[in-house]
Copies of this chain bind each other. A is one copy, B any other.
Amino acid sequence: MAVTVVGSVAFDSIETPAGRRERCLGGAATYFSLSASYFTDVRVIAVVGEDFGKPQEEVFQARNIDTRGIEHTAGKSFFWEGSYLDNLNEAKTQITELNVFAAFNPKIPDAYRDSEFLFLANIDPVLQRRVREAMPQAKLVAGDTMNYWIKGHRTALLEVLKGLDILLINDTETKMLAGNNNLVQAARAVMALGPKALVVKHGEYGATLFHGANPKGASAERSFRAPAMPLEEVVDPTGAGDSFAGGFFGYLASQPEQSPAVFRRAMFYGCVMGSFACERFGTERLQELTRSEIDNRFNLFRELTHLD
């Protein structure tokens, strides 16, 4: 089944211990789309400026991503500049220029309206809600958010959470959203706000899935932990979380049903795609993967964690 994603398509200037890149293609919706495209059809809703041209368009085309929902307007695309020189696990933002993104009003092509899988990447929760309401046919809705919205736009965010099947955020965001420093207690509190499942991303330590009653109702609360792979070299962690989300949700959408076993495999695919994203600058690695490279790494992750 096709996945529709709404989020940012941007240009990023990135500095890491491995080097520096100017204005490479970035944005949450970009990383998500490229990653999910290895599993299922992907449709993007975003806005870009005049600096988004043929070379950028071709990155999406090469992966057969539907870009009819990318609106082109006068002005410049969203621009972000960040550095990981001090800490590879956390970007230090140097510049954020919203540009055309400041007036983003998502427009949903008619051709997208049969999407049963919807991903609301990290944008203003008011926009997330608007897209969700405009796509009532979506049967599985997942989303991301960040500390900025949790701190300053809580009311709007709580409205989004009510309608989410799956929320994907990191440790700090989970604890901040719940106001509780214990991850298990915080996860429970977050799930009480709406999401039926919560994926907490731990960066280099992988991710944990918390979910409520499983389909058989056997247990009130279950969790599943997928590992990140110890990487020889982390070139650029930008987009790793969005690539996780793309692998996770893209795999879910590719399966005939979303059973607990499928969720577990989706967690592994999420970690696999996140690990690939870190191996090169920007989207470089995600543009040129093969499904067999992905499945080989999936099997490595299995070996890394399984007893037998």
Give me the interface of A with B, judged by CB distance under 8 Å.
88, 181-185, 187, 202, 204-206, 208, 210, 223-227, 230-234, 261, 264-265, 268, 302, 304-308
Contact for A307 among B231, B233, B302, CB less than 8 A: B302
CB-nearest residue of chain B relative to A232? B184
Let me know if B304 and A306 touch, CB within 8 A: no
Let me know if B183 and A230 touch, CB within 8 A: yes
Contacts of A227 in B (CB 8 A): 225, 227, 305
CB-nearest residue of chain B relative to A223? B230
Contact for A182 among B223, B233, B302, CB less than 8 A: B233
Q: With A and B bound together, what is the CA distance between A224 and B182 in angstroms?
A: 26
User: How close is A56's CB to chain B, nearest CB, in angstroms?
Assistant: 31
Let me know if B232 and A182 touch, CB within 8 A: yes
Let me know if A224 and B305 touch, CB within 8 A: yes
Q: With A and B bound together, what is the CA distance between A227 and B207 in angstroms?
A: 11
Contacts of A307 in B (CB 8 A): 261, 264-265, 268, 302, 306
Contacts beyond the supplied A182-B231, A202-B205, A302-B307: 9 A-B pairs with Cβ under 8 Å: A182-B232, A182-B234, A185-B232, A185-B233, A208-B230, A223-B304, A261-B307, A305-B305, A305-B306
Let me know if A230 and B306 touch, CB within 8 A: no
User: How close is A195's CB to chain B, nearest CB, in angstroms?
Assistant: 17
Let me know if A230 and B184 touch, CB within 8 A: yes
Contact for A306 among B183, B204, B306, CB less than 8 A: B306
Q: With A and B bound together, what is the CA distance between A49 and B230 in angstroms?
A: 44
Let me know if A225 and B305 touch, CB within 8 A: yes
**Contact A308:B230 (CB < 8 A) given known A202-B205, A205-B205, A206-B205:** no
